[in-house]
Structure formats: structure tokens, C-alpha cells
Amino acid sequence: MRYLSIRNRVYPKNLNPNGYAFGGFIMAEMDKAASIMVEEVMHGKAVTVFVDNLHFQHPVRNGDIISIYAEVTKIGKTSITLHISFETRCVISRDEYSVCDALFVFVAINDQNKPIPIRPLLRDNIPDYIQALVSK
């Protein structure tokens, strides 16, 4: 079950010299969206350890409204995996496009930046679909 994690508008500071949103902006927004979802699911600190292949399928223009959705797909021993989808709505046509999607893996860490078990850190009110992943 995916949740809207970030909704935002593209501004000129987010553009590359060709006039489209630059990849670093898109990747940073996806990482932020993932981290927001991770905080919804667990207490404490977590860091990004892995992002799978990113394929930019559609350009994002100045003024577009971006929506980034997050879905937890796995709870590991110390890690949590999320599927992140980046979509855009063209400011001119109002058509909606899928821009890219990727898996993000975060790892729960202690104050010494060492991985720690994630299950004791899960919040009490996590959605049922995530709870079901915990018992797998």
C-alpha cells in the first residue's frame, strides 16, 4: 500500500541548463520521501545504505507538481526496504506522468553508526500491511 510522502512544486533552482529538473534534485526528493516514511514506521536513527537502478523515464519541467509515493516492501533484521515512485503533473497540460521509481534500503543504526535490530524500534501504530511484513 503506497502513501503520499512528498508533494511539491518544481522551481527554477531545481533545473539543469536544459530547463528540466536535474537528476540530483529528483534523487534527493526520493531519498527525503523514503526517510519520511521510515520515520513513520520506526523510532531512532536510520541511514540510506542502498538505492537500486534509477531510470528517468520522463522529464520534469519548471512549475510541475511532483508527488512522491512510498511503500514499505520488506522489514529485515536491521534494514527496511521501500519502493519509491516519483510522479509529475505538467503545469501546462495537467497530464500526469511516471518519472522514475526505485528501491531504497535504510539501516537502523545506534549512536556509533552500527546497524541494530529494527523490530524493537517499530512504532506501535504501523499499518497492518507493514505489520504483516514483520512476521515474514
* Residues forming the site for ligand COA (CB under 6 A): 47-50, 76-79, 105, 107, 109, 113, 115
Report the nearest approach of ligand COA to the CB of residue 99 (Å): 22
Q: Are 109 and 115 in contact (CB under 8 A)?
A: yes
Report the nearest approach of ligand COA to the CB of residue 44 (Å): 13
Report the nearest approach of ligand COA to the CB of residue 78 (Å): 3
Q: Are 107 and 122 in contact (CB under 8 A)?
A: no
Nearer to ligand COA, 94 or 136 (CB): 136
CA distance 13 to 26: 12
Report the nearest approach of ligand COA to the CB of residue 133 (Å): 12
Q: Are 34 and 102 in contact (CB under 8 A)?
A: no
Nearer to ligand COA, 43 or 77 (CB): 77
Q: Which residues are CB-contacts of 31 (< 8 A; sequence separation ≥ 6)?
A: 48, 51, 104
Q: Closest residue (Cβ) to ligand COA?
A: 76
* Bridge partner residues of 68 (DSSP): 6, 86
